[in-house]
Structure 1
Amino acid sequence: MYSISSESPAHPDIVALIAALDSYQSALYPAESNHLLDLTQLPGHTLIMMVIRDRQLNAVGCGAVVLNSDGSGEMKRVYIDPTHRGQQLGEKLLAALEDEALSRGCHTLRLETGIEQHAAVRLYERSGYQLRAAFAPYEEDPLSLFMEKLLVADLRLAGL
């Protein structure tokens, strides 16, 4: 049994998960292709941070959405501990993040991921994200993939 809840990006459990993610990505890509945003430096109202905990309350996954003023958001820092993969925790985490983003007026989510993160790419594809061109502040990078998902099929319904 796992639970998903909102938590501060400064919580030691989340800091540890993000450190593991950074270590993993740093082994795959050169520094210029790693976009390691420090979520603790963002204003709280622009950030959705969630953690997955197991029965013993150990943090086994995390993910965030950085909300933009234009109604879009960027998925960041999605990570599931390797010993807990294969249980659809990634799908559940993305759904929770998307639901919270939508409740805060976000109509579109974007993300950047690396070409060597095959499981992550499959997760995003299964969850409805589609390839797109680089978006600000990123530039095209042969080691990056950029993806997007509309949370509201008709933006007129969102009052936009």
Structure 2
Amino acid sequence: MNAHTTAAVVHSPGGLLRDPDALAALLTDYHLSTEAEKGLPVVDATRLPARYLAEIRDPRTAFADDTVFLAVDAGAPAGCLVVTAPDAGTAEIKRVWTDPARRGRGIASALLHAAIAHCADRGVATVRLSVWSWRTPAIALYERSGFRVTGSWDPREDLVCMEYPAAA
């Protein structure tokens, strides 16, 4: 990670998201890329599934109960990650994304480690995430960070489900 990259919490429960436009731009890229990778490319964000479009249009509402981490590189939004509010000792990481032009600088790693620390500080026993099987660099990052493949809680094909024992 270079000296210009920082991971910072920019949202906490209650809709305190400081830069919803930056998050919306990153989420747009994330969802468009994901749909294309699934073989379902869309021309623009307005054609994304409604649940994804809702996140882009109003991230404050979509993630009102969650914590959003935003990475900034040289003053520009470089990546994002969402941690769901804990439920029965478990939180979920989702929407992990690094701007493709800024990959290889440790941004996703910084976001992931900040999220794990955030969960541990709140007594979360288990942090889980799911990742598409073709995202092998992401899977490798998660494994290096201590996540292990576990049984699936999501019925969608091609998802790899992983857990990290945050409070252990």
Residue 94 (structure 1) aligns with: 112
| 1:41-72 deviation per Cα after TM superposition (whole angstroms, max 9, x unaligned) | 3563x3110101112x1100010110232011
Instruction: Say whether 1:48 aligns with 2:67.
Output: yes
- What RMSD over aligned residues (CA atoms) do the two structures have, in Å? 2.2
| TM-score of the superposed pair, with normalisation by structure 2 | 0.78
Aligned-partner Cα distance in 2 for 1:132–1:124? 13
Secondary structure at 1:93's aligned position in 2?
Answer: helix
Question: Residue 26 of structure 2 contacts residue 97 of structure 2 at CA under 8 Å; is this kept in 1?
Answer: yes
What is the match of residue 145 of structure 1?
A: 160
TM-score by length of 1: 0.81
Q: CA deviation at 1:119?
A: 1.3
Gaps of 5+ in 1: 154-160
- Once the two structures are superposed, residues 93-151 of structure 1 have per-residue CA deviations (whole angstroms, 9 ceiling, x without a partner) of 1010111122222121111110111111111111111101112xx22x33111000001
Asked if structure 2 preserves the Cα contact closer than 8 Å seen for 1:62 and 1:80, the reply is yes
Unaligned runs of at least 5 residues, structure 2: 11-16, 41-48
Superposed CA offset, 1:58-94 (max 9, x none): 1000101102320110001000111111122211110
| 3-state SS of paired residue (1:111) | strand
- Residue 134 of structure 1: aligned partner: 152
2:8 equivalent to 1:5: yes
1:16 alignment partner in structure 2: 25
Matches of 1:131 and 1:79, distance apart in 2: 20
Match of 1:117 in 2: 135
Runs of 4+ in structure 1 off by over 3 angstroms are 34-44
Judge conservation of contact 2:7–2:111 (CA < 8 Å) in 1: yes
Distance 1:9 1:28, change over 3 A: farther
Distance 1:10 1:23 in 2: 20
Q: How many residues align?
A: 146
